[in-house]
Amino acid sequence: MLKAVIFDFDGVITDSEVLHLRAFNRSLVPYGIELTTKEYYRDYLGFSDFDCYKTLITQGLLKIDEQQIGDIIKQKSQIFEELTKTEGRTIEGVHEFLRMLKQNQIPMAICSGSLLVEIELMLDEARLRHFFTAIVSAEQVKKGKPHPEGFLLALRKLIDHCRPPIAANECIVIEDSHWGLQAAEAAGMHTIAVTNSYDAEQLSQAEKVVARLNELSMADLRQLCA
């Protein structure tokens, strides 16, 4: 039985992955590093900010101590906030899909590798915050995707607000990357992928793949959890 839907954020709710890439690159200018779009989508998109910078350090590209990552994340977050206020937008079909879930009394949560301040800023700008019962952001977990910790925490937060309790296999996760789909599967949840960041072939591990969320009906969602 379908009892909840948990969304990734960037690339699912908002068209913000390109803004993250630009913010990353601007924060890396002092270190002589620039990620190409191909590199970012291939190697880093599913990571939290911390894991992205840490991977660059591990690869020998970013020559700083791990203890300095927090300072760069603050700079990157400030840049991202500036970009969001002028260029952030909601992906087509999202509003209709959220309204459908709300009308059918399906609790919703977000599980994202972004910082809470970034998520709430974009939700407020798009006037979408009221749809979501819970938000799990990068700073709330020790292990980012593809680890399932974030989705399991989102489920616990939903259970705190919903009765009767919700089981993992009564949740659908909506993702745009294979890292997120892997995390959802590890959490024991059903999966839907949207082709906003990758093509359908690269997201074939999902139980269902769509181009836009408003292609989905309640019958589609309930069938996954049947």
Are 37 and 107 contained in the same domain? no
Q: How far apart are CA 220 and CA 226, in angstroms?
A: 10
Are 94 and 194 contained in the same domain? yes
* Structure-block tokens of residue 103: 């009308």
Contact at 8 Å (CB) between 205 and 185? yes
Are 69 and 100 contained in the same domain? no
Q: How far apart are CA 140 and CA 106, in angstroms?
A: 24
Are 122 and 54 contained in the same domain? no
Are 38 and 81 contained in the same domain? yes
Q: Residue 123 sits in which domain range?
A: 4-15+89-224
Q: Extract the residue ranges of the chain whose pLDDT is less than 70.
A: none
pLDDT tens figures, 205-215: 999 999 999 99
What pLDDT, on a 0 to 100 scale, did the predictor assign at position 139?
Answer: 95
The CATH number assigned to the domain holding 40 equals 1.10.150
What pLDDT, on a 0 to 100 scale, did the predictor assign at position 18?
Answer: 87
Are 124 and 217 contained in the same domain? yes
What pLDDT, on a 0 to 100 scale, did the predictor assign at position 101?
Answer: 98
pLDDT tens figures, 137-186: 999 999 999 999 999 999 999 999 988 889 999 999 999 999 999 999 99
What pLDDT, on a 0 to 100 scale, did the predictor assign at position 9?
Answer: 95
What pLDDT, on a 0 to 100 scale, did the predictor assign at position 46?
Answer: 79
